[in-house]
């Protein structure tokens, strides 16, 4: 079968995904700019070309929100989603090709592309990431890299020359290009080999001594901290590490407690249609604020140029609406793509054997689900915007499954009591149910304290659980502690989160609530680890039904045929309805954000997703102030 080319390039003067510069004579004046690659990516501004200069005023809430930096300045993968999320396009890569059966991908980098310190970005950086981080048994890092595996075997890297490399797979890997574009999954653009080699024993015999000088026992710990790929919060806390991003930190989060500052990357690889090198803004300044209330106040006072995370809640909308004139900002619309507004997640891999057995009982999860009056939560917290639904696919999407969306969403405390009486008939003197060991069954939901909408919902849901005899409690904590307790532990009882995806290709790439396949399946961390690395000592072999789902997902990812993808995903969703691993409140209504009136080239309507890391694919590098 002849090779299918998916090479995208600039043609006939139209700024598409990347490539040549025909049709832009203004760029002729810039061709001698040694800071640009030979073939920079031309960006057509959303509204109009701008000018370099000015400051983008932003904010971060608490230590845990550092992962949000991906959304603002860190989305620079080889391939990226386009602004309307209708496809992918080259970004750091100049072009790419895929063969007919999706077993071989060829990537071409931009000749002359440089890191923010001026060092060349070449296939040596790709090789270093692959051999000395991804596949190095002494210092491995494979977080978010499951798409590199087919039938348990990793894709093989072949370096062709300094700008060309191939990746070959054992079998078809139909979603590899889309997975590279997914947020946080393309680490090939985050590893400056020339900087990191000093910390790796293979390249520096004194790496252990260097680590000890910096208070660490071995080079491995220092190397992992310096590359920072295993934790979002670490990756952005190092102003010494060169970057390919539009702005490079000169004062990184954690290095200054009041603000973080990122300055223009003089070697950024993009220009506008008039030949002006991007980004337009000279710098991005992040105020470090303590909580969402402080952030809301600063936004109302006009101190924040653009924001939706943490403050754009239904209850805040009237306040923000009334302050538009005084704060000099306007609203933009976020098309919600999350699978639910809030997903209740019991820890199905709990270290307590009694709780583990109970939480893995489907009737128990059903009882908790029907104990919730979703209409009350929607009316009070979402201001009536929404309808009862489980984590699911949006109605109208070809993958919509009504049973998955609607089962066990009715408010039926009598049914909840009936189910619980069959499972936990004994109660203590306070009316709370006793577990199989005779202890009061307490379920503590541990919540990131910045998620104020979740907290508001739990204020209503906790009494509903207690009314059917369950000692449910809520424990709020800083996001960084939540990450440690919930994402990286197994001793928690339960939590709540959102995200996932409710439609199309996004749901196929992020089916976290239907299949435990990566760390985002926080309800079953051991099962998720089994999917990616069954030999890992922390992996837990799932029950047969879950293993079937995991294998079905591998088969889905192996095919590049859209019709077959739809068929396989539909079967996965049907089995997910059978298993009912998690439960939710409502499919989300459209959200909103606020942006200062003088900000130009922002999108009035955009998807709201972490996979399409809002607003990253809308190209913040071409934002400017009029």
Q: Give yes or no: residues 315 and 394 share one domain.
A: no
User: Residue 12 above 80 pLDDT?
Assistant: no
In whole angstroms, give the CA distance from residue 412 to residue 425.
Answer: 18
Determine, yes or no, domain membership for 19.
no
Q: Give yes or no: residues 502 and 414 share one domain.
A: yes
pLDDT-derived band at 498 (thresholds 50, 70, 90) equals confident
Q: Which pLDDT belongs to residue 398?
A: 93
205 CB neighbour count, 10 Å cutoff:
9
Q: Which pLDDT belongs to residue 419?
A: 98
Which of 160-164, 192-196, 585-589 bottoms out in mean pLDDT, i.e. has the lowest?
585-589
Determine, yes or no, domain membership for 479.
no
Q: Mean pLDDT score of the chain, rounded to an integer?
A: 91
What is the SS3 assignment for 57?
strand
Please, what is the end-to-end C-alpha distance for the chain in angstroms? 52
Q: Which pLDDT belongs to residue 17?
A: 33
Long-range (24+ apart) CB contacts under 8 A made by 525-532 are: 525/349, 525/487, 525/489, 525/490, 526/349, 526/490, 527/348, 527/349, 531/146, 532/142, 532/146, 532/149
Q: Which pLDDT belongs to residue 11?
A: 27
Q: Name 195's Cβ contacts closer than 8 Å, sequence gap at least 6.
A: 115, 117, 119, 226, 240, 241, 242
In whole angstroms, give the CA distance from residue 223 to residue 220.
Answer: 5
**Mean of pLDDT values over 180-203:** 95
User: Residue 351 above 80 pLDDT?
Assistant: yes
Q: Give yes or no: residues 554 and 595 share one domain.
A: no
Q: Which pLDDT belongs to residue 32?
A: 66
| Per-residue pLDDT tens over the stretch 40-55 | 999 999 999 999 999 9
Q: Which pLDDT belongs to residue 258?
A: 87
Cβ burial 472-511 (10 Å sphere, 16+ → b, else e): bbbebbbbbbbbeebeeebebbbbbbbbbbbbbbbbbbbb
Determine, yes or no, domain membership for 133.
no
Q: Give yes or no: residues 518 and 621 share one domain.
A: no
> Which residue in 165, 105, 101 sits closest to 129, CA to CA?
165
Q: Which pLDDT belongs to residue 306?
A: 96
More confident of the two residues 345 and 235: 345
What is the span of the domain harbouring residue 618?
292-337+589-625
Judge contact between 332 and 323, C-beta under 8 A.
no
**Mean of pLDDT values over 578-596:** 95
Most confident of 347-356, 474-483, 559-568: 347-356
User: Residue 29 above 60 pLDDT?
Assistant: no
pLDDT-derived band at 7 (thresholds 50, 70, 90) equals very low
Which of 132-146, 345-359, 512-526 bottoms out in mean pLDDT, i.e. has the lowest?
132-146
pLDDT-derived band at 231 (thresholds 50, 70, 90) equals low
Q: Give yes or no: residues 513 and 573 share one domain.
A: yes
Determine, yes or no, domain membership for 459.
no
- In the block, tokens 């070449």 appear at 122
Q: Name 231's Cβ contacts closer than 8 Å, sequence gap at least 6.
A: none
**Mean of pLDDT values over 365-372:** 98
Which of 227-236, 412-421, 594-603 bottoms out in mean pLDDT, i.e. has the lowest?
227-236
Most confident of 282-296, 367-381, 527-541: 367-381
Q: Which pLDDT belongs to residue 489?
A: 77
**Mean of pLDDT values over 297-305:** 95
Q: Which pLDDT belongs to residue 4?
A: 34
Q: Give yes or no: residues 415 and 499 share one domain.
A: yes
Q: Which pLDDT belongs to residue 196?
A: 97
In whole angstroms, give the CA distance from residue 65 to residue 448.
Answer: 10
**Mean of pLDDT values over 454-469:** 97
Q: Which pLDDT belongs to residue 66?
A: 75
Output the DSSP codes for 134-155. IS-SSS---TT-GGGEETTEEP
**Mean of pLDDT values over 554-575:** 92
Which of 26-40, 319-333, 446-460 bottoms out in mean pLDDT, i.e. has the lowest?
26-40
Q: Give yes or no: residues 311 and 349 share one domain.
A: no
pLDDT-derived band at 80 (thresholds 50, 70, 90) equals very high
Q: Name 95's Cβ contacts closer than 8 Å, sequence gap at least 6.
A: 7, 8, 9, 18, 19, 107, 108
160 CB neighbour count, 10 Å cutoff:
12
Q: Which pLDDT belongs to residue 488?
A: 74
Q: Give yes or no: residues 521 and 563 share one domain.
A: yes
Domain total of the chain: 2
357 CB neighbour count, 10 Å cutoff:
13
Q: Which pLDDT belongs to residue 431?
A: 97
**Mean of pLDDT values over 376-387:** 94
Q: Give yes or no: residues 397 and 296 share one domain.
A: no
Determine, yes or no, domain membership for 253.
no
In Å, what is the CA distance from 570 to each residue of 213, 392, 549? 55, 12, 12
Count the helix, strand and coil residues of the chain and give each as a percent rounded to the nearest 5: 35, 20, 45
Find the length of the chain. 626
In whole angstroms, give the CA distance from residue 286 to residue 558.
Answer: 41
Which of 180-184, 230-234, 544-548, 610-614 bottoms out in mean pLDDT, i.e. has the lowest?
230-234
User: Residue 172 above 70 pLDDT?
Assistant: yes
Q: Give yes or no: residues 505 and 578 share one domain.
A: yes
Determine, yes or no, domain membership for 560.
yes
User: Residue 248 above 70 pLDDT?
Assistant: yes
In this structure, what are the phi and psi dihedrals at residue 105, rounded to the nearest 5 degrees?
-120, 135
**Mean of pLDDT values over 142-155:** 85
Q: Give yes or no: residues 567 and 607 share one domain.
A: no
**Mean of pLDDT values over 589-616:** 95
In whole angstroms, give the CA distance from residue 152 to residue 257.
Answer: 44
Determine, yes or no, domain membership for 454.
no
Q: What is the CATH number of the domain that holds 307?
A: 3.40.190.10
Q: Name 554's Cβ contacts closer than 8 Å, sequence gap at least 6.
A: 150, 151
Determine, yes or no, domain membership for 53.
no
User: Residue 14 above 60 pLDDT?
Assistant: no
More confident of the two residues 135 and 66: 135
Rounded to two decimals, the pTM is: 0.82
**Mean of pLDDT values over 50-77:** 88
What is the SS3 assignment for 424?
coil
DSSP bridge partners of 625: 599
Q: Give yes or no: residues 499 and 542 share one domain.
A: yes
Judge contact between 407 and 576, C-beta under 8 A.
no
Q: What is the CATH number of the domain that holds 569?
A: 3.10.105
């Amino acid at each position: 079968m002849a090779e299918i080319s998916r090479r995208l390039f600039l043609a006939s003067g139209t700024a598409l995904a990347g490539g040549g510069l025909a049709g832009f004579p203004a760029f002729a004046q810039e061709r001698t700019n040694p800071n640009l690659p030979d073939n920079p990516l031309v960006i057509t501004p959303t509204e109009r070309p701008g000018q370099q200069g000015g400051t983008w005023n932003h904010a971060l809430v608490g230590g845990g929100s550092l992962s949000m930096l991906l959304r603002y300045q860190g989305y620079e993968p080889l391939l990226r989603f386009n602004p309307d999320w209708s496809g992918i396009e080259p970004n750091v890569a100049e072009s790419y090709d895929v063969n007919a059966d999706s077993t071989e991908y060829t990537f071409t980098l931009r000749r002359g592309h440089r890191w923010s310190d001026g060092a060349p970005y070449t296939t040596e950086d790709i090789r270093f990431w692959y051999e000395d981080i991804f596949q190095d048994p002494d210092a491995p890092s494979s977080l978010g890299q499951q798409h590199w595996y087919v039938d348990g075997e990793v894709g093989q890297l072949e370096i062709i020359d300094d700008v060309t490399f191939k990746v070959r797979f054992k079998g078809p890997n139909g979603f590899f290009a889309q997975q590279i574009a997914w947020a946080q999954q393309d680490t090939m653009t985050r590893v400056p080999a020339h900087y990191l080699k000093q910390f790796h024993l293979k390249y520096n015999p004194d790496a252990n001594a260097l680590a000890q000088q910096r208070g660490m026992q071995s080079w491995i710990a220092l190397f992992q901290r310096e590359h920072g790929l295993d934790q979002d919060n670490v990756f952005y806390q190092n102003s010494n590490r060169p970057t390919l991003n539009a702005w490079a930190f000169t004062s990184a989060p954690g290095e200054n407690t009041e603000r973080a500052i990122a300055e223009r990357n003089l070697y950024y690889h993009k220009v506008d249609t008039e030949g002006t090198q991007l980004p337009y803004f000279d710098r991005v300044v992040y105020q470090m604020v303590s909580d969402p209330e402080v952030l809301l106040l600063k936004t109302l006072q006009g101190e924040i140029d653009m924001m939706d995370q943490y403050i754009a809640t239904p209850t805040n909308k009237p306040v923000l609406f009334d302050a538009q004139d005084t704060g000099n900002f306007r609203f933009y619309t976020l098309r919600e793509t999350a699978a639910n507004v809030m997903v209740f997640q019991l820890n199905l891999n709990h270290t307590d054997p009694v709780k583990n057995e109970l939480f893995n009982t489907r009737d128990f999860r059903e009882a908790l689900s029907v104990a919730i009056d979703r209409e009350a939560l929607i009316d009070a917290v979402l201001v009536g915007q929404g309808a009862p639904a489980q984590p699911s696919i949006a109605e109208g999407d070809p993958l919509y499954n009504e049973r998955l969306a609607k089962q066990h969403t009715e408010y039926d405390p009598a049914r909840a009591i009936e189910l619980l009486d069959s499972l936990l008939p004994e109660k203590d003197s306070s009316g709370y149910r006793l577990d199989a060991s005779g202890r009061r069954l307490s379920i503590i939901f541990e919540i990131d304290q910045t998620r104020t909408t979740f907290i508001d919902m739990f204020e209503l849901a906790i009494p509903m659980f207690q009314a059917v005899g369950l000692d449910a409690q809520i424990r709020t904590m800083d996001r960084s502690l939540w990450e440690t307790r919930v994402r990286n532990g197994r001793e928690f009882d339960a939590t709540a989160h959102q995200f996932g995806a409710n439609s199309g290709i996004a749901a196929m790439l992020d089916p976290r609530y239907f299949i435990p396949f990566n760390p985002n399946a926080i309800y079953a961390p051991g099962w998720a680890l089994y999917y990616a690395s069954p030999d890992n000592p922390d992996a837990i072999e799932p029950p047969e039904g879950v293993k079937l789902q995991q294998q079905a997902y591998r088969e889905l990812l192996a095919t590049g045929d859209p019709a077959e993808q739809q068929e396989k995903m539909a079967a996965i969703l049907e089995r997910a309805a059978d298993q009912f691993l998690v439960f939710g409140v409502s499919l989300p209504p459209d959200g909103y954000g606020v942006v200062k009136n003088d900000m130009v080239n922002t999108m009035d309507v955009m998807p709201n997703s972490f996979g399409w890391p809002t607003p990253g694919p809308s190209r913040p590098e071409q934002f400017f102030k009029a």
